[in-house]
Structure 1
Amino acid sequence: MQAESAESWPDDAIEVGAIVDAYGLKGWVKVAAHANAGQGGDALLNAKRWWLLKGHERKSAPVEQSKVHSDSIVAQLGGLSDRDAALLLRGYSVHVRRGDFPSLGADEYYWVDLLGLDVVNEAGVELGKVADMIDNGAQSVLRIEYPATGKDGKPATGERLIPFVGVYVKTVDQTAKRIIVDWEADY
């Protein structure tokens, strides 16, 4: 286990889960991943080092072993040899470098890579920027924010929700930072 500072923290660190408990007696930790293995949680399994954050306290540790266990991921981190040491890490968020995420196939995207992209419709009308992604159980949904005017006449932020499915999402161009959709501004 190594202490880290804000300056030594990787620029491309992405939060992918949180340590929720110890696992077993030999220093393993149990992690609630933000995505299931095979759907982004595999970034936890792929990474060789995890960065841990709780409040202002930052640490990092090499991952000696990790695996899927039921609905969570369990891992043995370097420097942890018993249950008591693992219990001290409860509540830490787990971050991995974006570069440690496994490669995806064609037409597959990590949510983190879609955030901030401009969204335009096929007619070229700008609909806003991706502010968030939502999983409604059936599919992922783009949450788009755009500048609007409130009922009081003051500037406000409008919101559009567009299902992230092929019938609506026509092109995702990460290089141009743009998503083209079949969606009208007044929907």
Structure 2
Amino acid sequence: MTQNGAGENGSERRVLLGHIAGAHGIKGAVLVRSYTAEPEAIADYGPLEAEDGAAHFDLTVEGATAKGLICRVAGVADRNAAERLKGTALYVARAKLPEPDEGEYYHTDLIGLSAVTEDGARLGLVTSVLNYGAGDILEVRPEGATRTVLYPMTEAVVRRVDLARSVIVLAPPDEVDAGDQAAAAAEDGE
């Protein structure tokens, strides 16, 4: 899956392709963390946009290190200018990306989908897709709730994704409260 995007409707949605991690050397190069399947492909999508859409960055990949890609940004000629770009998120319009393979989705395509159970009960809206290293997690906000519910993005939980109807069908897993189980076991042992 690809990282979260921004925007309100499908035509304006953007996908996060990388971040500028900092300056590299003294001649204006930057170090870029690329989130594309092939890291060097980040430069293939044309000018990338900052998160707010106000600035555009035309990248040229010059090399790679263990920390990321060494890139040139058009118009950046010295280390000071490169350092000012540190932390900049690099986005591209969703429409510029290839269609994902069957069963794969860009995070931005899932955000805003109505989450329902197989029998049609409404669970809420997908507000984000998280990943802390163990796999993607859907964050769903039930209608009128202040707290969100997290669902693992596994085949057992995600039954169908219907982008045309803006619906994702989930089979919520049975909840287990380990604290209650531990308390019950402690009472039984006394």
The TM-score with structure 2 as length reference comes to 0.71
Distance in 1 of aligned mates of 2:107 and 2:62: 23
Aligned-partner residue type, residue 81 of structure 1: A
Q: Identify the structure with the greater strand proportion.
A: 1
Residues 1:107 and 1:93: Cα distance change in structure 2 (over 3 Å): same
Q: The residue matched to 1:31 in structure 2 has which SS?
A: strand
Aligned-partner residue type, residue 170 of structure 2: V
Shift of 1:73: 3.5
Q: The residue matched to 1:85 in structure 2 has which SS?
A: helix
1:22 paired residue number: 23
For residue 63 of structure 1, the aligned residue among 35, 55, 59 is 59
Identity among equivalent pairs (%): 27
Residues 1:106 and 1:67: Cα distance change in structure 2 (over 3 Å): farther
Deviation per residue, 1:28-77 (Å, 9 max, x gap)? 212345xx4429x7773432112235xx8932132233665424343212
Counterparts in 2 of 1:90-105, with a 5 A limit?
Answer: 90-105=86-101
Residues 1:32 and 1:64: Cα distance change in structure 2 (over 3 Å): closer
Alpha-carbon contact 1:120-1:180 (below 8 Å) kept: yes
Measured on the aligned residues, the alpha-carbon RMSD in Å equals: 2.9
Q: Identify the structure with the greater helix proportion.
A: 2
Count, aligned residues: 165
Q: Which runs of 4+ in 1 moved over 4 A?
A: none
Q: Which runs of 5+ in 1 are unaligned?
A: 1-9, 149-155
Radius of gyration: which is bigger? 2
Q: Which runs of 5+ in 2 are unaligned?
A: 1-10, 176-190
